Structure 1
Amino acid sequence: MSEPGPESVPTSADPRSKRPTKRRAITPHSEQAGEIETLFKDPSKEIRLPESSNPRTSSSLAPPPEIVTNVQGSSAGAGSGEFHVYKASRRREYERLRLMQSEVDKEKDNSNWEKQREEAKRRDDEKTEKNRKRREKKRNARGKKGGGKDTTMEVDKPSTTKGPSMPSQVDQDASAEGQVSYGEVPGVIIHDED
């Protein structure tokens, strides 16, 4: 076997050839790869993304014509060219009506949702108020029945009376060491009734 010579290389692929290389059909994969390569050539270049299209509304469409001349149906003596004009105008009008109907439906859905939300909020507020009244009633009944003693947790407040108060556990420990102090230490007292 002999070594491949210059005659076995296609003319367009030969580096000595001045002819341009043949362009092949671009596949989506090669097109995407080419776009990525161009982006990576200059990373500092700003990338412009296409703006998102706004949703179509009936106001974004062209308004229907004020005066329609030569009104005719799809088969009322029209020629072959007029049929397509009629179909296009009918399609535009149906599209306009469909968008108007979708806007009305959307507004109706939004108003129904607002009503449901307000109703749910009102029910929640009523239930909360009912529970609050029940808790207050229960608390008041418990306060009268127990002789003024409340079973809830209380936070000690510093004594405002002048003179010594009852020594707390910390004060008793301090007095055992020979130091006397009669101030109360703030803390939490839990009253248990068994």
Structure 2
Amino acid sequence: MSSTDKPTKTDPQSTRPLKKSRRALSPTSAQASQLQALFSNPTQEIRLPPPQSSSSTRKPLPPPPEIVTNVQGSSAGAGSGEFHVYKAARRREYERLRQMDEDLAKEKEVEDFEARRREREREDAERTRKNREKRERKRKNKGKAGSGSGGGTEGPGLVIHDDD
């Protein structure tokens, strides 16, 4: 067998696809290859991961324990291992307090937003009501003025006469 019997990619008559590189050279080319793979089979279903908000990425803290196991007695001195137990308990408590403060701030922010939204809706409704009343007064006044002149409510316009 000679080298002409077996088609290679360098051979112009070859129908084999180009060998794909195993890694992307840049983030842009990585994204381009991902898009190319998606567009190669448009009937394939694409599963997207659920969107993650900043609050959902952090796991909720467990509730504080009902019974605290490592309680130090009043007459006992602190041993060398107690420091780390104390630090861990203090860290958990500060994290719990920080989470409570964040939740309170978030609730206040939502409440303020709702109050501002209700105020805007009330102002919009008031403005709409005033404009409606103004239009109705204008219509009523226009009707009165038009009936007094005897011409009706129709204004001047283009009159076409059919002279056949």
Match of 1:169 in 2: 161
* Change in 2 beyond 3 A, CA 1:89/1:119: same
Match of 2:142 in 1: 139
1:122 correspondence with 2:121: no
Match of 2:105 in 1: 102
Q: Which amino acid aligns with 1:169?
A: H
Larger Rg: 1
Residue aligned with 2:55, SS:
coil
TM-score, structure 2 as length reference: 0.54
Residue aligned with 1:125, SS:
helix
* Change in 2 beyond 3 A, CA 1:109/1:155: farther
* Change in 2 beyond 3 A, CA 1:36/1:132: closer
Distance 1:30 1:144 in 2: 82
Distance 1:65 1:56 in 2: 20
* Structure 1 segments unaligned to the other structure (5+ residues): 1-28, 157-167, 175-194
In the alignment, is the contact (CA less than 8 A) between 2:61 and 2:96 conserved in 1? no
1:80 to 74, 80, 83: 83
Structure 1 residue 38, shift from structure 2 partner:
6.6
For residues 15-39 of structure 1, the C-alpha deviation after alignment (integer angstroms, 9 at most, x for no partner) is xxxxxxxxxxxxxx96747845874
Aligned-residue CA RMSD in angstroms?
4.1
For residues 120-142 of structure 1, the C-alpha deviation after alignment (integer angstroms, 9 at most, x for no partner) is 22212221222123212321331
Structure 1 residue 155, shift from structure 2 partner:
9.8
Residue aligned with 1:101, SS:
helix
Stretch moving more, 111-120 or 29-38 = 29-38
- Could you tell me the percent identity over the aligned residues? 16
Q: How does 1:8-157 map to 2 (within 5 A)?
A: 32=27, 35=30, 39=34, 44=40, 51-56=50-55, 61-69=60-68, 70=70, 77=78, 79-150=82-153, 152=155
* Change in 2 beyond 3 A, CA 1:151/1:36: closer
* Structure 2 segments unaligned to the other structure (5+ residues): 1-23
TM-score, structure 1 as length reference: 0.47
* Change in 2 beyond 3 A, CA 1:31/1:137: closer
* Change in 2 beyond 3 A, CA 1:49/1:122: closer
Q: Which amino acid aligns with 1:130?
A: E
